[in-house]
């Protein structure tokens, strides 16, 4: 009986360890895709690396996933330019895990973020400039992405032209059901 118990523990441990290492391998492979695509706006260090040579999810660049995130970020900007607030809201994964920090105030959740986005971007009548300077996209495990940049926005609210103070912005995306969704936003003034 003791031998059966020891054998069961060993086999269970083996299956657990093999399953965990296989999940990491699958996650890494899911982000490989087309290695020849060049990503505009990504730092030169990521353009030099080849994800086939990376051994873990921290070092792996996930170039295909980076491109998807950049395209999603572009679609977010386009929804603001087009004044399509419902489309803008659709890029968020609102729920109990969603959080936002904005300009040094306390953390808020889904309801407050949506209300703020609808109030601010719903009032925009024209986008003169919507630039993301020093854009960096970092993808982990092929399904989590951290996007950082310095904002440079000029927006019109009717007859009022507003040069929005530059911010350091971090957007955290998670890929769910084949789509990249925002799960966290952080905005703080750039000195």
Where residue 63 falls among pLDDT bands split at 50, 70, 90? very high
Question: What is the pLDDT at residue 57?
Answer: 85
Contact 140, 58 (CB under 8 A): yes
Question: What is the pLDDT at residue 56?
Answer: 85
Query: Span 24-53, mean pLDDT?
Result: 40
Tokens, residue 82? 């087009």
Question: What is the pLDDT at residue 98?
Answer: 98
How far the first Cα of the chain sits from its last, in Å, is 69
* pLDDT single digits (tens) 69-118: 999 999 999 999 999 999 999 999 999 999 999 989 999 999 999 999 99
CA quadruple 65, 184, 59, 175: dihedral sign: negative
Question: What is the pLDDT at residue 1?
Answer: 47
Flag whether pLDDT at 180 surpasses 70.
yes
Where residue 183 falls among pLDDT bands split at 50, 70, 90? very high
Best CA proximity match to 124, nearest among 144, 102, 153, 91: 153
* pLDDT single digits (tens) 125-171: 999 999 999 999 999 999 999 999 999 999 999 999 999 999 999 99
Kind of pairing between the strands at 99-102 and 144-157: unpaired
Which of helix, strand or coil describes residue 141? Answer: coil
Where residue 42 falls among pLDDT bands split at 50, 70, 90? very low
- Per-domain boundaries in the chain: 31-189
* Alpha helix segments (H runs only) across 91-126: 110-122
Q: What is the CATH number of domain 31-189?
A: 3.10.450.50
170 CB burial (10 A radius; 0-12, 13-18, 19+): middle
Total residue length of the chain: 191
Contact 159, 125 (CB under 8 A): no
Question: What is the pLDDT at residue 54?
Answer: 60
Question: What is the pLDDT at residue 188?
Answer: 96
Which of helix, strand or coil describes residue 10? Answer: helix
The residue behind tokens 């000195």 is 191
CA distances from 136 to 18, 44, 91, 103, 117 (A): 34, 10, 19, 21, 23
191 vs 126: which has the higher pLDDT = 126
Flag whether pLDDT at 12 surpasses 80.
no
């Amino acid at each position: 009986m003791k031998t059966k118990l020891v054998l069961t523990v060993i086999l269970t441990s083996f299956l657990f360890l093999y399953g965990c290492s296989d999940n990491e391998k699958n996650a890494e492979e899911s982000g490989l895709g087309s290695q020849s695509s060049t990503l505009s706006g990504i730092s030169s260090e990521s353009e030099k690396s080849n994800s086939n040579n990376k051994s873990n999810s921290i070092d792996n660049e996930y170039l295909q996933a980076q491109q998807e995130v950049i395209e999603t970020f572009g679609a977010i900007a386009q929804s603001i330019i087009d004044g399509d607030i419902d489309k803008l809201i659709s890029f968020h994964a609102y729920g109990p895990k969603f959080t936002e920090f904005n300009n040094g105030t306390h953390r808020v959740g889904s309801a407050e973020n949506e209300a703020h986005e609808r109030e601010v971007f719903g009032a925009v009548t024209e986008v003169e400039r919507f630039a993301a300077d020093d854009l960096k996209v970092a993808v982990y495990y092929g399904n989590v992405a951290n996007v950082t940049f310095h904002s440079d926005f000029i927006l019109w609210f009717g007859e009022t032209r507003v040069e929005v103070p530059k911010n350091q912005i971090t957007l955290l995306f998670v890929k769910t059901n084949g789509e990249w969704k925002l799960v966290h936003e952080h905005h703080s003034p750039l000195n």
